[in-house]
Amino acid sequence: MSEVLDREVLDKGYAVPGALVSTQWVADHLKDTNVRIIESNEDPLLYPSGHIPGSVHVDWTNDLNHPVKRDYITRESFENLMSRIGVTAETTVVFYGDKNNWWATYAFWVFQLFDHTRAKVMDGGRLKWQKEGRPLVREVPQYQQTRYHAPERQDAKNRAFRDDVMEQIRKEGRLVDVRSREEYTGERLHMEGYPNEGALRGGHIPGAANVPWSRAANPENGTFRPASELRDIYLKEQGLNAHDPVISYCRIGERSSHTWFVLKYLLGFDDVRNYDGSWTEWGNLVNVPIEK
């Protein structure tokens, strides 16, 4: 990320400012052929109802997940996706979406499993873009198909599995539960207003700190809080250390990808992984420890 950085982002003091761009930066690069803007939402109807001009849609369910088993797409499927949306290894992809960029950071995280490091997130997502009165269109762009070559999926660096979590517990390492307080305590098995996604037991992984993902975002426009405020939340309040391994989790890995992005790119943590199995796996496992 050696290009000129976004001054609006630089002023927030992030560890890796090149991973984030402002809505103005996106507006200035709408016709940049080296940039592909990607919308990724929880609600699949949002993109067809209106999206940033020139942006493409990446659906988290159909485009990023394996069609049969609970896992992510293969290298071949990722190559096909990138070719279809007109991306090369030299293309900078910029993600944005609804829910204060829940699914944008989730898609960003999956792209990192395939080492596409030319990637950014638009600060504030759809909410900020719309609040500023910027244009949305319904026209779906067509880009020339590319021939994209990806490495084999690299799970170890950014992804945690249940055995990794067990080892983290054994070592008394740091875990961050980004769910609501009610989910963390076991009062709820799911987010308020959402269906139960199959967890049989409530509670949290032993030793996990509870830092709801939404604390990292400004509620009025969905932007990330400046680095100084994020350090207060994660380092001062919770005692996290940027040099210690940390695993974040939620229920299926979407909210925890938001916190993973905050810790890794905005605060510069050396070793942070997202446990995408999260509570839908842990809450159903036989003979694993749970606290309430």
**So which residues are the catalytic ones?**
250
- List the Cα angle 255/82/17 in 5-degree steps: 50
Residues 6+ apart with CB under 8 A from 214: 100
Q: Is 71 exposed, middle or buried, given 0-12, 13-18 or 19+ CB atoms closer than 10 A? A: exposed
Question: Six-digit token pair at 69?
Answer: 């088993």
Please give the distance of CA 159 from its chain centroid, rounded to a whole number: 12
Give which of 235, 260, 233 is closest to 246, Cα–Cα: 260
The owner of tokens 């873009």 is: 129
Nearest-angstrom CA–CA distance, 133 and 118: 28
Residues 6+ apart with CB under 8 A from 119: 19, 92, 93, 94, 95, 108, 111, 112
Give which of 258, 291, 70 is closest to 161, Cα–Cα: 70
Question: Residue 176 CB: number of other CB atoms within 10 A?
Answer: 25
Nearest-angstrom CA–CA distance, 18 and 129: 19
